Structure 1
């Protein structure tokens, strides 16, 4: 039963995170239309509030509940590693968005419409890739990878060659 509640928490937090992070480029794109003064300050306050008090906590809950699900369901497969790669990219885009919230509202700054579209496209592609991998769980052949990457303890054997003083 705990897995059901973890999945519910994960999907709910993920929905808030995904929807919120898709909203951010749209909000940032409104910066130029807000002009200066009160309207600009309200837009900045809304953007910061959404990012800090809604979107980022949802991201932490989504990632935390996802980690808990990983161990509860014992999901250690190749498709899961690919999913984690895309989640890592989404986290990097999340941080980039936070940096934009800080910089776009400086005097003379703006977020061009083409950047809004590109941001939405990239975020949508990454989220779509995550959903595809999770829902389809494709078989991923590991034949082309070096054996050090597919055997237990293989990374340590590989690291010994590059890190001085490390012993196997």
Structure 2
């Protein structure tokens, strides 16, 4: 059996009830085979980048998984599909977006998957929530350099970690 790996998943939505979609996706992550939800950041409201449309609700989740990186990516894409994700054009508004940000310390470059996520260091909507649950993975100077990107914590949302209950 495959050894467990800590993986980080970026979650986002900006169509329908985006907040509910992100929270529901966290529950679905926890239900993946051989996978446990370890932590989830607060919810963050962010402006779309390189796109038009409503604001996004974003979060980052940490999972401990026995799935391989390609299998985890496939499971994430299946969850997007279940949530009604369509891809009519690049950066279109979406009901759910799940990105595999990191898979342990692995470096993967294939046509289907690049890990660590190639654009995560340029996105406040990834680094701010990631810093909440895994500060050792975020360079504070890099996050500070993204201060011009509009991002705000959703009032009442709180980071969660195992042992607190969903």
Task: Report the TM range for the smaller structure's normalisation.
Answer: under 0.3
The structure number with the bigger radius of gyration is 1
TM-score (norm 1): 0.25
Bigger helix share: 1
